[in-house]
Amino acid sequence: MPPRRRRYPQPVAALRARDRAVVGAALALSLALAGCAGPSQRVTTGSAAPAYPKPSPTPARCTNQTVLAGWSTARLAAQLVVVPAPESDVAAAAAAVAQGAGGVVLFGSAAPADLGSQIRAVDAMALGSIRPLVMTDEEGGGVQRIANLVGSMPWARQMGTMSPAAIQSLAKAVGQRMRALGVTMDLAPVLDVDGGPGPNASNPDGDRSFSASPSQAARDGLAFAAGLLAAGVIPVVKHFPGLGGASGNPDYGPAATRPYLSLLGSGLLPFQQAVAAGLPAVMVANATVPGLTRGPASLSSAAIQGLLEGRLQFHGLVMTDSLSAPAITAVGLSVPEAAVRAVLAGADLVMFSSGQPGPVLTAIEAALARALATGEISSARLIDAADRVLVAKGVNLCGPG
């Protein structure tokens, strides 16, 4: 499917202003008549036609995309990649950030007291001063990376016993501490509809889900997201189109969601409400969707372009779950190969969670460059994806004006 140019909605309040167009003023044409004769002069039949000055060309409108068109393929590709780093050693991602990586995902369970200064040091190395999105999984319960610094939250299912206002207030308080450290994105909330035990090897959700009720999962998940936004942190709703009731956990091996027609009546509903609410980012699951995709949804144009962007009309940032997960390697794809498939399918940010950040980033850049050279992917698709990443960051390449 050929890449489509996307339109972006006005960013939500937590994000900075988008790029402003620099538009040249219209030039007025001045009329000059040559060879006009006065009353006493003889007028001849071959007099010259009126001459008009040539209009000056209208200055080109500067946008992120016009600037990105001048970037190298490697730089465009790097902006689409999230590299991993241990929260105890954020500098492990420094070389990749200097190379232009679009994001850094932190892993661990007990962050060091100097995490903020570590993040600032890595931010300072960003290519072109375009800082990466720094993200963690602060969901609550057993999925919290930096709770010792930002405060602990209960599992989502326990939060489901709280009022939406209380959930929003809790997420805002945690989000404010995250933002103060330099963590700008939270890979949460989970909008999956699930009431079973877990999380475990057979169920990716369990207590990570707010409720087995689609309406309550939507209500509470959106309250959580609103709290993060109020704190200036970008929420990423996951795992589209819904892992509740999946056949297994994609972090352990191949898995399938409920059949597509079943999702339409239940699991997809919280995501529909999130899109309608204007939430800025969606993470796509690594599970197959029976009746919709032939493989992982994160690599499927049917899931991303057809369902998320087409049917749901989402126009924000699309990111993958980890492309180094067993559900991806089980289909025989390396991280660079999967990255090409994901970007071609419509993903804007691709993430991996294992391997050395610099070498894997370089391999992804090379894979995308080869895909561009062979015509498998277009420069327009890379530019469009990089533009969405920059919009999420609030970066205006054209400067103020």
291-325: per-residue pLDDT in tens?
999 999 999 999 999 999 999 999 999 999 999 99
With b for 16 or more beta-carbon neighbours within 10 A and e for fewer, the 384-398 pattern comes to bbbbbbbbbbebbbe
β-strand 317-322 against 349-351: which pairing, if any? parallel
Look up the domain containing 164 and give its range: 64-393
Overall average pLDDT of the 258-284 stretch = 98
Overall average pLDDT of the 144-161 stretch = 97
Give pLDDT, residue 401. 52
Q: Answer whether residue 364 is part of any domain.
A: yes
Q: Answer whether residue 17 is part of any domain.
A: no
Q: Answer whether residue 52 is part of any domain.
A: no
Q: Answer whether residue 35 is part of any domain.
A: no
Overall average pLDDT of the 102-125 stretch = 97
Distance from C-alpha of 282 to C-alpha of 303, rounded to nearest angstrom: 12
> What end-to-end distance do the CA atoms of the chain give, in Å?
36
Reply yes or no on whether the pLDDT at 141 is more than 80.
Answer: yes
Give pLDDT, residue 48. 43
Q: Answer whether residue 42 is part of any domain.
A: no
pLDDT, tens digit (0-9, with 9 covering 90-100), for 62-81: 999 999 999 999 999 999 99
Under 8 Å between Cβ of 222 and 279: yes
Q: Answer whether residue 132 is part of any domain.
A: yes
CA angle 185, 260, 196 (to 5 degrees): 65
Overall average pLDDT of the 367-395 stretch = 98
How does residue 28 score in pLDDT terms, banded at 50, 70 and 90? Answer: very low
Q: Answer whether residue 113 is part of any domain.
A: yes
Distance from C-alpha of 288 to C-alpha of 299, rounded to nearest angstrom: 10
Domain count within the chain: 1
Q: Residue 199's domain is classified under what CATH number? A: 3.20.20.300
How does residue 58 score in pLDDT terms, banded at 50, 70 and 90? Answer: low
Q: Answer whether residue 26 is part of any domain.
A: no
**DSSP one-letter string for 384-401:** HHHHHHHHHHT--TT---
